[in-house]
A and B are shown apart, each in its own frame.
Chain A
Amino acid sequence: MAQRTLTKRINRVGWLFVIPATVFIFVLNFYPMVSAFLLSLQSGRGNNLKYAGLRNYARLFQDEMFLTSVGNVITYLVIQVPIMLMAALVLATLLNDPKLKGKSIFRTFIFLPCATSLVSSAMIFKSFFSIDGLANNALMALGILKSPLSWLTHPVWAKFVIILTITWRWTGYNTVFYLAGLQMIDRSIYESARIDGASSSRQFFMITIPLLKPVILLTTIMSTNGTLQLFDEVRNITNGGPGIATLSISQYIYNLSFIYNPQFGYAAAVSYAILVMVAILSFIQIKAGGKR
């Protein structure tokens, strides 16, 4: 009997501890999510909203600007994420070498881009790639370019600059995850592989990658998610231009809400479209990479 009251009391105290966090999650996360979903079912401008069922979602498929922004983001995703993750993996493997000297200095340098603000890194890259910027001057000095290239006003080169900026900013971040993952791998596995005569590259592909699979999966999902929600870089480097050649989905949401006549209902539908895309892509990635 006494045992039961004690359990009860412990439970009650436990609930007290949990309640603040629960309330905050409900109020700051779940409530806005539900409310945004309800908003996505309404159409109209400003506060003049009416329920319109799934019309906003049907509208997405005819919206050429939305489809272009999805295409842009997928281009970033398909090119940038594999390059970045590969680079991060290579860097992590190099940094994990026990014989490497000055390891902490290298690690700091590689992680440093993550400590810079997205906006300032975007502005700096923008100035690098302006007509009289560093990139043009360097390429002309090397004789690769004859006249300055207008990077940011060309649909393809503008995308290139954005991909470069994201890669610079996030490679170090992913490297840290891989480093943590690598340190979990028992050194003795490599030792025995070496005794068996496996080359370094063979060790990398046969031991490192398979054992890092959960971490690789995690970073892939995070990067996919991050790229689909890309905003700061595009807004600050090209503002979506030239035309809408670099427009990201998030920036389109911003335009729909704050630049054009506010259509919050439709903007909410676009953000739910991102959610659905992230969910589908994550599901595919888990299915493809998660077999244990």
Chain B
Amino acid sequence: MKRTLYIALTLLLVMTAVFGAGKGEVKPVTTDPDAPVTLTVWCWDPTFNIYAMNEAAKVYAGIRPNVTINVVETPWDDLQQKLITSLSAKATGNLPDIILMQDNAIQKNVMTYPDAFVSLTGKMDLSQFAQFKVDVGTVDGKNYGVPFDNGATGTFIRRDIIARAGLSVGDFTDITWERFIELGKIVKQKTGIPLISTVANEPDFMMIMLQSAGTWMFDSQGKAYIKDNPVLKEALRLTKEMVESGVCLLVPDWNAYIATLNNGTVASTINGCWISGSIQAEKSQSGNWAVTNTPKLGKIPSSVNYSSQGGSGWMVMANSKHPDVAIDFLAQTFGGSIELYETILPTSGAIATWLPAASSSVYSMPIEFFGGQPIYEDLVSYAGKVPNVKYGVFNYEARDAVARALSDVMQGGDIDTALATAQKSVEFLMME
């Protein structure tokens, strides 16, 4: 009996030792403004946001040399997983000071973990960022995200291929998706090349179409708005038509998609302007590309020739020991340094959402790769016209459900039934 007690006690002791360890409170460090401070940042793309972050660190080193920025490469999927795991376990000690977050995940993370992020309202001036990007990072009237890269979409098109079909970039400007498909048929017939490619069963085009009409998969009360959503129905119909007419080539994954652009398998792509980095990676196509605005939905009056896809923002974590330094760092670099944007734009194509940067002469520079077109100036002007939508908390659930509807419709299913199923599945996941 005694022995059992001993064992039980030992076990209890060990367990307390093991599980009690993580509970120490982090005390805020008393601030000496010149004490060395290290800010850790998580972001994911070495040629894009990591590069931009490192450049920002160089800019800030000139302002406050005592601050070191430590950038840790963390792929987005891992970042989201680590964030959820640490926040759920309340073990925030290993989280960084600043993270980069996908625009469409900001609402979800802030709503689920309201205490994990620092509100920037009153601490940083966001008025000079593009309004639609600021709204993406706003939850319950508080701003959480410092807008970083622009997701404004454009039609990136091969001048040389469409010229063989007797078309010019002007033919693709200010058009509808219906017209885009017609032009695609001409290109296919005359050159044998599909006009565009997309990852099979990813609803990227549909998301672009939705935002171009200022609607999303949720209504203003946050309820799922998938069934009987006229814009979604149109988007499904057009996507199906694009694939069936041979205008759009389906590829299995992202790498294959990028390959269709770099190998000249297709004549164009429609995506967020960050895709220009991947397009410009194929140097042999220099001079052959051009950019114009995005098609709109012919049958939806609210649809315009501008939309957004992707994009991300910086967030300051509440677990940071130096939240004020982190905010000051972001404010003085991504929210205050034209010099930074002038450095990162030509090499990475990171197009600012900080409007003063757009007045820099670097933006109006003709880009040789795009046949001398000043594409950054054009893309910034598109960004100003993107309709505002709230991605909402359940964006990933809805996106998955719509992807499934797309797959059903591609297999010959009925559009209304597919959307009704998607609506039901999102509503189920929204239930607690």
Contact = CB atoms under 8 A, between A and B. Distances in A.
Contact of A242 (B200, B396, B425): B200
A258 B18 CA distance: 26
Interface string B392-404: 0110110010011
In the complex, which of the residues B111, B252, B396, B428 has the most CB atoms of chain A within 10 Å of its own CB atom? B252
B112 A46 contact: yes
A23 B201 contact: no
A260 B407 contact: no
B407 A65 contact: no
In the complex, which of the residues A22, A27, A245, A260 has the most CB atoms of chain B within 10 Å of its own CB atom? A260
Contacts of B113: 46-47
Interface string B85-119: 00110100000000000000000100111000000
B63 interface: no
B84 A258 contact: yes
Contacts of A154: 411
Contacts of B394: 260-261
A19 B10 contact: yes
Contacts of A153: 200-201, 250, 252, 407, 410
A27 B256 CA distance: 45
A133 B400 CA distance: 27
Range, interface on chain A: 35 or more
Interface string A235-262: 0000001111100000000010111111
A260 B397 contact: yes
A126 B432 contact: no
Given A47-B90, A150-B250, A258-B80, A62 B428 contact: yes
A259 B396 contact: yes
A63 B428 contact: yes
A64 B428 contact: yes
Contacts of B431: 59
Interface string B210-242: 000000000000000000000000000000000
A47 B91 CA distance: 12
B275 interface: no
B342 interface: no
Given A153-B201, A243-B408, A261-B393, A44 B432 contact: yes
Contact of A130 (B252, B411, B424): B252
A260 B88 contact: no
A260 B429 contact: yes
Contacts, number: 105
B84 A152 contact: no
A47 B251 CA distance: 39
A64 B407 contact: no
A70 to B, nearest CB: 15
Contact of B424 (A64, A152, A242, A257): A64
A262 B201 contact: no
Contacts of B425: 64-65
A23 B12 CA distance: 10
Interface in A6-59: 15, 19, 22-23, 26-27, 31, 43-48, 59
B88 A46 contact: yes
B14 interface: yes
B432 A257 contact: no
A290 interface: no
Given A64-B425, A243-B403, A258-B80, A152 B200 contact: yes
B266 to A, nearest CB: 13
A131 B256 CA distance: 10
A155 interface: yes
Contacts of A76: none
Contact of B14 (A27, A242, A255, A258): A27
A231 interface: no
B72 interface: no
10 contacts: A22-B11, A46-B87, A48-B112, A153-B201, A243-B403, A243-B407, A258-B77, A258-B80, A260-B396, A260-B400
The 4 lowest CB-CB distance pairs between A and B, nearest first, are A46-B112, A243-B404, A243-B407, A242-B407
Given A44-B432, A243-B407, A264-B88, 20 more contacts: A23-B10, A23-B14, A26-B11, A26-B15, A46-B84, A46-B113, A59-B431, A63-B428, A64-B424, A65-B425, A130-B252, A150-B250, A150-B252, A152-B200, A153-B200, A153-B201, A153-B252, A257-B84, A260-B394, A261-B397
